[in-house]
Amino acid sequence: MTNSKSSVNAAAIRAADTLLRGVGGRQVLLRTPAPAIPDDDGEQLGLSTPQFQDFPLCPVIYRRVRPRIPSSVATAKSPAPQYELLVSATAVNALIGSQEYNSAATLFNTAFGVLIDGVLLEIESATFSELGGAAYLYRLLLRAPQALRT
């Protein structure tokens, strides 16, 4: 039974990867904190300069999400634009293993955001789709920086 579940999950991951690539999958960068390393030249008052690491996520699908506003609600200002990022579980699992995170939730919670076309988008939420008890696709809901909101 275990082999059956793992083979079903492996097939779901391969299918998700194929679909993501087939509909224009692209690469984005996940920005995470790097360990602080003291620098004699740049360090003052005993504080280390924060460092960041960018890790590629590929294949992904990036698209704008239409806001769900009930028709009975009249707002003077439209809500901030939100974006959706569908990410391959293959990419997330590789990153979890190589960077020694204990789960995808920890990875996404500690990340500063996702760098797409030179713009850092904040991660509002991260969910996943699963089959056979393991994730095959992650969905990140992203928010644009305040300066880019209209």
- The domains of the chain are located at 2-32+52-65+80-148
pTM of this structure: 0.78
Q: 105 vs 25, which has greater pLDDT?
A: 105
Does 103 have pLDDT greater than 60?
yes
- How much is the average pLDDT of 102-131? 92
> Quick one: pLDDT band at residue 84, thresholds 50, 70, 90?
very high
How much is the average pLDDT of 110-125? 93
Q: What is the DSSP string of the chain?
A: -HHHHHHHHHHHHHHHHHHHHHTT-EEEEEEEEEPP---TTT-BTTBPPPEEEEEEEEEEEEEEEPP---TT---SSPPPPEEEEEEEHHHHHHHHHHHT-S-HHHHHHH--EEEETTEEEEEEEEEEEEETTEEEEEEEEEE--GGG--
What's the pLDDT tens digit per position in 47-82?
Answer: 666 789 999 999 999 998 876 665 555 455 556 678
Q: What is the pLDDT of residue 40?
A: 57
